[in-house]
Chain A
Amino acid sequence: MNSPDVPGDLAQALAATPAHLTALHERLAAAAEVGGVLDIAYRTVDTPVGTLLLAATELGLVRVAYASENHYAVLQTLADRISPRILAAPTRLDATARELDEYFAGRRRSFDLALDWRLSAGFRATVLQHLATDVAYGQTATYGTVAQLAGNPKAVRAVGTACATNPLPVIVPCHRVVRSDGGMGGYLGGPDAKRTLLTLEATA
């Protein structure tokens, strides 16, 4: 006790519990939502294709990300491209999480959610919007067919790029786009995730 560490002891004595900090975080998220400063709310959900990150602006769901995309990097991209006013705030995503639960349980065949399309533009956006409306649950379409639907039959590769950069996978069903030779084709969530989704939709 010759030289007590007063600042160190003080910091320790005033340390809050994780539960206390969690409660304060929840209070902040609620106040930010009410105050209109929560530009992006996010949460994660555990699904048969791994942990998905869900992020929503005030307009609607703006991003769904596979774990393989690195959720931390995805949030940083949202901060750069939309707004850094981002908090983990599950309430705004309750409906999305519920519909995904129902989908993975085989009890939902389409999503009824407000979508914020601002992360896709141009031909890619056109492709994704056609996918969202024209290729039904349980069906598949080739890259060429989707290129036709999007109004540019030659843009087969661009369809591949649109799918590979889909900001709303699962919800916007790029997993239903397959190769014309019968091969499954690539998928931003990995081939296992694509197979899981196609099998689910074929059997549910």
Chain B
Amino acid sequence: MKSIVYLVIGIFFGIVMLKSEAASWFRIYEMFQFKSFHMYGIIGSALVLGVIFIQLIKRYKIKTINGEQIHIADKNNSIFRYLFGGIIFGLGWALAGACPGPMFTLLGAGFFPIIIVILGALLGTWFYGLLKNKLPH
């Protein structure tokens, strides 16, 4: 039963990614050229509502449907890994025009060359795992 809930959330998310054009390489390019408000509007309005949701959850100690405390993990205090990891991700995001959610949506939408991007993303993740202990964090 719970599986269906996850699947439905994913389907909803996939439809939003495709229909909002956040999964379009062109929109990502346009965003990095500062030539349209569209992507900034999507991320900005998601954030406005997201901040409100999280503040409400914290203020009213809203629990999960199972009655557990909602927990959002704090991230480590480091600058290096976030800045450099972010830059590497950004380079790839602009080049492939897809981040890890839309990648899968585009596969379902039938743009099969995205398989090469997904394969790359798996390789990149694996390379990180292999090099993790040698990288500054």
Mutual binders A and B: no
Residues of B within 8 A of A (CB): none
Residues of A within 8 A of B (CB): none
